[in-house]
Structure 1
Amino acid sequence: MSKSPFKRISVIGLGYIGLPTAAMFASRKIEVVGVDVNQHAVDTINRGEVHIVEPDLDMVVRAVVSEGYLRATTVPEPAEGFLIAVPTPFKGDNHDPDLSYIKAAALAIAPVLEAGNLVILESTSPVGATEAMADWLAEARPDLSFPQKAGESSDIRIAHCPERVLPGKVMQELITNDRVIGGMTPSCSAQAAALYTTFVTGDCVLASSPRVAEMAKLTENSFRDVNIAFANELSLICDELRMDVWELIRLANLHPRVNILQPGPGVGGHCIAVDPWFIVSSAPNQARLIRTAREVNDSKPNWVIEQVQAAIADTLIQNIERTPSDITIACFGVTFKADIDDLRESPSLAIVEELVRDSKCNVMVVEPNIESLPEVLRGAELVHSPRDASQRCDIALLLVGHREFKSTFLKPLLDGKHVIDAGGLLR
């Protein structure tokens, strides 16, 4: 770590990446102005509280707000450096990247830019997004020069530095993980690296361009997606051949050069379920394996739904006097991964949503990490106690491996129940 050349920076977007990043810079005694369109988030942060769940984040935010190093607002203010950490969702049904949030953030900061400022795009983005952002800024501020035309002599420096952290360990990995930095010129890269080294202990590795840095992040998550798809496809094959996929994977992994991942109900989150489509959108004719892996993982929730439907049918056959409304399904977990509150792109949430909408059964959501159910689960019952849910349900659908659902605790509770272990919780 080194002393920062920046005295005041601004972080645009105070979500799961932006707020921890803002807090980390503020913890190094840099004045940070956080900007978000969500007034509730702004007010919460200014009270020294957090609107998201992430271990240790609340303590850091409370400290840096009370010390005066972090405050939040809805309107951008002048700063020496700007970090944009806003969503990059899809638009339409073809998984085309939606850059409207990045464009809105760029146009919001454009009026307060000054010569010598640094603008870093942290949002995970399709290839070319950083250059597009630079063009939007240049169009909004023709009085300033930008690196796409002025090169090293530009008034404004622009770079891409994608986040590379794991939810649940963000505060640790922001510090220790290596960062890939792709500036539009060498000076842009150097200035961005100087900013991050104020708290990053990992290496700040310079890519040859923003495009390479963008592609690096997309490649990392596509690699993981392809490997998860292999495990998920094995689970479908094993079901067809009446084998235990977890036993199969355990045996195959005894080979010294084999390391198959574990299957699950699908793939969720704001990265692995999204980033591969950005590569597909950039090179649709070449990204055949990446597209197929996405299709395998996106289809896994449908297979889980089919298992539940079969369990409902079996339950009704065993007692012909019962109707679906007499059956209770306990769904264990709806977040996209274990021990967090994040529902973004969660396959488990999509599965439970369909059960609530179409099964005509009573649906319990066993989720210790959220305080209320999202609107799409209206009609379901939120239960925090696995023991209570296990006693009351006819069918147990195991989706997310929260620590409260460990197999040694769940197994005896589910004796005599129809269990669908889509997440491998009992293995």
Structure 2
Amino acid sequence: MSFKTISVVGLGYIGLPTAAVLASRKQKVVGVDVNQHAISTINKGEIHIIEPDLDIAVRSAVSQGYLRATDKPEPADAFMIAVPTPFIERQDGGHTADLSFIEAAVKTIAPVLSKGNLVVLESTSPVGATEKMAGWLAEARPDLTFPQTHGEQSDIRVAHCPERVLPGHVMRELIENDRVIGGMTPACSMRACELYKIFVQGECIATTARTAEMAKLTENSFRDVNIAFANELSTICHELDINVWELIKLANLHPRVNILQPGAGVGGHCIAVDPWFIVDACPEQARLIRTAREVNDGKPGWVLEQIKVKLEQFHQANPNATRSDVTVACMGIAFKPDIDDLRESPALGIAQKAAELGCQLQVVEPNIEALPQELKYANTQLVSLEEALAQADIFCVLVKHKPFLTIKEKLQSKNAVIDAVGLLE
């Protein structure tokens, strides 16, 4: 059974590329979002986010009539939900997944569901979220049957298929990467596999919904633990006066050692968030995963302390200067190189804390056109790379953007540089 119309709910960093790739396969795709700016931008054949090759795909899909955006769901054969799943920090220090965006999306599409539809949760979620989604759907549509009560004979098929793409390479990886597809029943898995095989060249691997949910959390927790090892090494090497970049390079000469590169912390909507879902589910068992999260969450604070040290050194060399006489340049505030995504960015948090120190703060971020709300301080401005090089007293390299690689020699000539990402190595 083919899919005549596919609805993608949530047109952000995952939803819009997915909608565009599906539309490029001559599928009729209706994108749904609450952001009116995003809707109008997409319907003009333009994009509201930065992702290589996405603009070409959206322009083509819209112009050919295969992709259209709206704020009201319409009947479709399949619904793919790609909305945020942030976490809520509890008073006891724990972190619980916020599923309110999924619940809102479910309540939005429920009125237009019909027998034979497929609903896929793409949003990275804690174990059991797909079952909760199915429960919400059942509450909203008691006239339809769902897998949790009617198994293989259910009117609606429900599955979970977490995205596993790298920002900056989304369009390619959506097509090439294998996909783990977890249905609430084997029939649900089979139907979801049919949907993804429209555009996925990699293997579509069927499993249960809970296993698919845990697979994505496991992938990102594994990476988080390995990054934490590198970040912890960097702070240890600082205390012991050892070049951590040289150390890692030498250690990685061992045929079975592959240490990652340290940074200013861990950001983004996945690695900085997903491990907490495992910790929240099994707090007594997830000791290593919790520790890794704490190490990575603590790295921005360590970087900020290095900025304070440089400020103190500046004042010792210039005793008549006040904090407002010092200009600090934060080089990069995105959560990773060469993208505009600031979600859970440790660099953004460091810049915000640096602005609160009373110095003049210059933000160098070549991928944005205006400062985010978090940095709307009187002493903070978005400047070009050239302006920062000419005016700043202290440089803090937080993201290894490609444009920064072109000024390595100029940075090396500066007296006060904090290199959190190994740009100068």
Q: Which residue of 2 aligns with 1:120?
A: 120
After TM superposition, the structure 1 = structure 2 runs for residues 268-279 of structure 1, keeping only pairs within 5 Å, are: 268-279=267-278
Inter-CA distance 413–296: structure 2 relative to 1 (3 Å threshold)? closer
Query: Does the CA-based 8 Å contact 1:393-1:417 persist in structure 2?
Result: no
Q: Name the CA distance, whole Å, in 2 between partners of 1:410 and 1:259.
A: 26
Residue type of the partner of 1:88? T
Q: Which runs of 5+ in 2 are unaligned?
A: none
Query: Does the CA-based 8 Å contact 1:181-1:189 persist in structure 2?
Result: yes
Q: Secondary structure at the match of 2:151?
A: helix
Q: Secondary structure at the match of 1:83?
A: strand
Deviations 1:256-310 (A, max 9, x none): 1000000000000000000000111111110000000000000000000000000
Q: Which residue of 57, 64, 71 maps to 2:54? A: 57
Q: Secondary structure at the match of 1:21?
A: helix
Deviations 1:45-72 (A, max 9, x none): 1111111000010111011001110001
Deviations 1:342-371 (A, max 9, x none): 0000000000001112x1111000110000
Is the counterpart of residue 11 in structure 1 residue 16 in structure 2? no
After TM superposition, the structure 1 = structure 2 runs for residues 335-350 of structure 1, keeping only pairs within 5 Å, are: 335-350=334-349
After TM superposition, the structure 1 = structure 2 runs for residues 41-52 of structure 1, keeping only pairs within 5 Å, are: 41-52=38-49
Q: Which residue of 1 aligns with 2:99?
A: 99
Higher mean alpha-carbon deviation, 240-249 vs 76-85, is at: 240-249
Query: Does the CA-based 8 Å contact 2:412-2:424 persist in structure 1?
Result: no
Quote the offset at 1:413 in angstroms.
Answer: 4.1
Q: Which residue of 398, 411, 415 maps to 2:409? A: 411
Q: Name the CA distance, whole Å, in 1 between partners of 2:162 and 2:76.
A: 21
Give structure 1 regions of 4+ aligned residues with deviation exceeding 6 angstroms: none
Q: Which residue of 2 aligns with 1:423?
A: 421
Residue type of the partner of 2:287? R
Query: Does the CA-based 8 Å contact 1:64-1:70 persist in structure 2?
Result: yes
Is the counterpart of residue 73 in structure 1 residue 70 in structure 2? yes
Q: Secondary structure at the match of 2:407?
A: helix
TM-score, scaled to structure 1: 0.97
Q: Secondary structure at the match of 2:158?
A: strand
Residue type of the partner of 2:171? M
Q: Which residue of 340, 344, 362 maps to 1:364? A: 362
Deviations 1:395-420 (A, max 9, x none): 010010000011x5222344133000
Q: Which residue of 2 aligns with 1:374?
A: 372
Quote the offset at 1:92 in angstroms.
Answer: 3.2
Query: Does the CA-based 8 Å contact 1:176-1:202 persist in structure 2?
Result: yes
Q: Which runs of 5+ in 1 are unaligned?
A: none
Residue type of the partner of 1:57? L
Is the counterpart of residue 82 in structure 1 residue 56 in structure 2? no
Q: Secondary structure at the match of 1:365?
A: strand
Higher mean alpha-carbon deviation, 223-232 vs 39-48, is at: 39-48
Q: Which residue of 1 aligns with 2:389?
A: 390
How much identity, in percent, do the aligned residues show?
66
Quote the offset at 1:381 in angstroms.
Answer: 1.0
Residue type of the partner of 2:370? S
Query: Does the CA-based 8 Å contact 2:334-2:399 persist in structure 1?
Result: yes
Quote the offset at 1:321 in angstroms.
Answer: 1.1
Quote the offset at 1:424 in angstroms.
Answer: 1.0
Q: Which residue of 1 aligns with 2:35?
A: 38
Query: Does the CA-based 8 Å contact 2:264-2:347 persist in structure 1?
Result: yes
Q: Name the CA distance, whole Å, in 2 between partners of 1:397 and 1:153.
A: 59
Query: Does the CA-based 8 Å contact 2:411-2:417 persist in structure 1?
Result: no
Query: Does the CA-based 8 Å contact 2:329-2:364 persist in structure 1?
Result: yes
Query: Does the CA-based 8 Å contact 1:396-1:417 persist in structure 2?
Result: no
Q: Which residue of 2 aligns with 1:186?
A: 186
Query: Does the CA-based 8 Å contact 1:390-1:414 persist in structure 2?
Result: no
Deviations 1:19-58 (A, max 9, x none): 0000111111111010001111111111111110000101
Deviations 1:183-238 (A, max 9, x none): 0111110110011111100000111x100000000000000000000000001111
Residue type of the partner of 1:396? F
Q: Name the CA distance, whole Å, in 2 between partners of 1:71 and 1:376.
A: 32
Structure 1 vs Structure 2 CA RMSD? 0.9
Q: Secondary structure at the match of 2:162?
A: coil
Q: Name the CA distance, whole Å, in 1 between partners of 2:190 and 2:353.
A: 49
Q: Name the CA distance, whole Å, in 2 between partners of 1:319 and 1:140.
A: 67
Q: Name the CA distance, whole Å, in 2 between partners of 1:413 and 1:106.
A: 51
Q: Name the CA distance, whole Å, in 2 between partners of 1:38 and 1:274.
A: 23
Is the counterpart of residue 297 in structure 1 residue 313 in structure 2? no
Q: Which residue of 1 aligns with 2:226?
A: 227
Quote the offset at 1:240 in angstroms.
Answer: 1.0
Q: Name the CA distance, whole Å, in 2 between partners of 1:92 and 1:399.
A: 25
TM-score, scaled to structure 2: 0.98
Q: Which residue of 1 aligns with 2:312?
A: 313
Inter-CA distance 413–245: structure 2 relative to 1 (3 Å threshold)? closer
Q: Name the CA distance, whole Å, in 2 between partners of 1:204 and 1:53.
A: 28
